[in-house]
């Protein structure tokens, strides 16, 4: 069990899904976001600040033996809005990790690093980047930072290219991309308990029949997906795809409609 896990992006959607599922991973939790938020547990430490502020990030990381780095801009935006959190912020996290005892980092990358692949293509982490947005490009940078701090400074990371982490799918694309929050929590536990993590790149996706992604770097982890979107649907109907979504390319590319939108527009 970790002594203290730092969770960035703690006011966000994924952090709120994961926090209750991470009981037992760490004795203490330090939660941070740029937005004010209230933790469900009054035992959690909360710190408000900007990931682009290197002195603040130093304070965050000191005393933590694990980092779940979820914080950042999570949609396509003009580059100037992405730069502080997703470029400077991810660098600050890794720089501070190298400085303060090398806690393991789980880095929330995104399927949008390869979002411009066609949906007919099945890819692995060995396939080249093909980002569909400034956002996707910023996550490519984050993945590179994770790798360079592993190679040069020995900071171990799991680079998790999250598909769609929600309680349940809300559109047809998510029949391929859905990542069960339970699966994500189990992956995080496995990454913090395995003896040697190294720096694997992992598609964060459940065992969905229509997944576009195959993982090749998880054999050393005690983890495999326990969920399938098809099983979850059970009593629900499969989400419909509207003519507007077809026209927007929802089902044409791994990244859905993002590929066809003008750069920088969310």
Only one of the segments 108-116, 181-189, 206-214, 234-242 lies at the binding site for ligand NAD (rule: CB under 6 A); that segment is 108-116
Minimum distance, C-beta of residue 262 to ligand NAD, in the bound complex (Å)? 20
Helix %, strand %, coil % of the chain (to 5)? 35, 20, 45
Choose between 154 and 168: whose C-beta lies nearer to ligand NAD.
168
Nearest residue relative to ligand NAD (C-beta): 12
Q: Which of 22, 73, 113, 146 binds ligand NAD (CB under 6 A)?
A: 73
What CA–CA distance (Å, rounded) separates 29 from 265? 35
Q: Which of 12, 66, 125, 181 binds ligand NAD (CB under 6 A)?
A: 12
Residue 7 binds ligand NAD (CB under 6 A): no
Choose between 13 and 220: whose C-beta lies nearer to ligand NAD.
13
* Among the listed residues 18, 26, 31, the one whose alpha carbon sits nearest the alpha carbon of residue 2: 26
Mask of contacts with ligand NAD, 111-130, x by CB under 6 A? x-------------------
Q: How many residues bind to ligand NAD according to rule CB under 6 A? A: 26
Residue 48 binds ligand NAD (CB under 6 A): no
91, 94, 117, 135: which is the annotated catalytic residue?
Answer: 135
Degrees, nearest 5: CA angle 128-131-136? 125
Alpha carbon of 186 to those of 71, 160, 189, 233: distances in Å? Answer: 20, 13, 5, 21
The phi and psi torsions of 217 (rounded to 5 degrees) equal -120, 35
Q: Are 54 and 92 in contact (CB under 8 A)?
A: yes
Task: Specify whether 91 is catalytic.
Answer: no
Which helix or strand (DSSP H or E) is residue 109 part of? strand 104-110
What CA–CA distance (Å, rounded) separates 73 from 138? 10
Contacts with ligand NAD in 136-165 (CB under 6 A)?
Answer: 162, 164-165
- Residue ranges binding ligand NAD (CB under 6 A): 9, 11-15, 33-35, 50-52, 70-74, 84-85, 89, 108, 110-111, 162, 164-165
Q: Supply the residues annotated as catalytic.
A: 135
């Amino acid at each position: 069990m970790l002594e203290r896990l730092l969770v960035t992006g703690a006011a966000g959607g994924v952090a709120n899904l994961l926090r209750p599922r991470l009981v037992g991973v760490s004795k203490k939790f330090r939660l941070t976001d740029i937005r004010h938020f209230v933790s469900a547990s009054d035992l959690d430490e909360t710190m408000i600040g900007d990931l682009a502020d290197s002195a603040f990030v130093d304070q965050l990381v000191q005393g933590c033996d694990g980092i779940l780095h979820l914080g950042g801009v999570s949609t396509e935006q003009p580059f100037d809005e992405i730069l502080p959190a997703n470029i400077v912020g991810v660098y600050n996290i890794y720089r501070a990790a190298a400085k303060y005892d090398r806690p393991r980092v789980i880095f929330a990358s995104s399927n949008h690093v390869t979002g411009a692949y066609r949906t007919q293509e099945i890819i692995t982490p060995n396939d080249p980047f093909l980002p569909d947005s400034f956002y996707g490009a910023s996550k490519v940078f984050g993945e590179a930072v994770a790798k360079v701090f592993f190679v040069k400074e020995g900071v171990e990371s799991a680079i998790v290219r999250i598909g769609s982490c929600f309680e349940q799918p809300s559109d047809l694309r998510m029949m391929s991309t859905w990542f069960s929050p339970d699966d994500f929590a189990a992956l995080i536990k496995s990454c913090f308990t395995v003896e040697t993590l190294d720096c694997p790149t992992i598609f964060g996706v459940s065992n969905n029949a229509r997944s576009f992604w195959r993982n090749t770097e998880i054999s050393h982890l005690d983890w495999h997906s326990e969920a399938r979107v098809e099983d979850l649907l059970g009593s629900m109907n499969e989400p419909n795809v509207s003519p507007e979504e077809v026209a927007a390319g929802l089902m044409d590319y791994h990244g859905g409609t993002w590929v066809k939108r003008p750069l920088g527009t969310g």
